[in-house]
Amino acid sequence: MLIIAGLGNPGSKYARNRHNIGFMAADAIHRRHNFSPWSKKFKAEISEGELGGEKVLLIKPQTYMNLSGEAVGEAMRFYKLQPADLVAIYDELDLPPGKARLKTGGGNGGHNGIRSLDAHCGKEYRRLRLGIGHPGVKELVQHHVLGDFAKTDQTWLELLLETLADNADMLVRKEDSQLMNKLARAVDGKAAVEEEKPQKKPAAQSHIHQARNRAQPKLPATGPMAEMLKKIFGNKGE
């Protein structure tokens, strides 16, 4: 059995926060595959289903981010699972928006949800980090992670989550590098297409039209030259 834990904060107030991208990922997997309706257990919302022929428990801790390990640890003890049977999905400040990284073990990187998981579940579980970008200065970090995704984020966010949901069975088969390649191609491929869209050029004009549009030389209205031109061409309108 595999537990896939999406991390976030409960409640509508936090639903679209960058910090809740783990919840969003769990919801995307739930929508795409044949999982049971969400129910409450282990201080969390849980749902059971199958991916790649193996039983999977989706879990969204309802303890708030900083205590995520309490819920996930309780579920792991109930099912007698080891850290290797856990995949945690969460936001990563130090990755550009839309980028993803998956590895086993490592530090918490200052992420309180992961610090809690490490304390309650052990450290040798797989960590799927989804990039939300860094605001640039430490003072803006809290506002950034607890702020909603911008409208400009929606394209890459939907692509990332839907591609992850489509290929969630790779998490069961531990095809980690292949999954990372699929996520990267989905997000970067879209960006490349947008960059390659040709700029709209003004409609081409014929040589005759261009010639007509050129400024015509101004003829003298008075003086000897004007009198000469009148004798040659006559006065227009006479």
Rounded Cα–Cα distance for residues 62 and 167 (Å): 26
Structure pTM? 0.78
Q: What is the pLDDT of residue 230?
A: 62
* Residue 63 lies inside a defined structural domain of this protein: yes
* Furthest-apart CA atoms within the chain: distance in Å: 111
User: Is residue 227 a part of any domain in this protein?
Assistant: no
Residue with tokens 């200065």: 137
Residue 90 is labelled as binding a ligand: no
Q: Is residue 208 part of a domain?
A: no
CATH number, domain containing residue 16 = 3.40.50.1470
> How many structural domains is the chain composed of?
1
Q: Please compute, for residue 111, the number of CA atoms within 13 A of its CA located in the half-sphere on the CB side.
A: 28
| Whole-number pLDDT of residue 98 | 93
Asked whether residue 12 is assigned to any structural domain, the reply reads yes
pLDDT in tens, 28-69: 999 999 899 999 999 999 999 999 999 999 999 999 999 999
pLDDT of residue 189: 73
pLDDT at 197: 45
- Check residue 238 and give its pLDDT: 43
19 is catalytic: yes
Q: Is residue 194 assigned to a domain?
A: no
Is residue 55 assigned to a domain? yes
167 appears as a binding residue in the annotation? no
Residue 148 DSSP label: B
pLDDT reported for residue 196:
39
Q: Decide if 237 is inside a domain.
A: no
Q: Which domain holds residue 126?
A: 2-186
How high is the pLDDT of residue 107?
Answer: 87
Alpha helix locations (H) across the chain?
A: 21-32, 68-78, 112-121, 141-145, 154-166, 169-173, 176-196, 207-213, 224-233
| Residue 66 is labelled as binding a ligand | yes
- Do residues 169 and 51 lie in contact, with contact meaning Cβ atoms separated by under 8 Å? yes
Q: Please report whether residue 22 resides in a domain.
A: yes
pLDDT at 193: 40
Q: Decide if 42 contacts 34 (C-beta within 8 A).
A: no
Which stretches in the chain have pLDDT values below 50? Answer: 191-199, 201-202, 215, 236-238
112 annotated to a ligand binding site: yes
Catalytic residue among 19, 33, 111, 143: 19
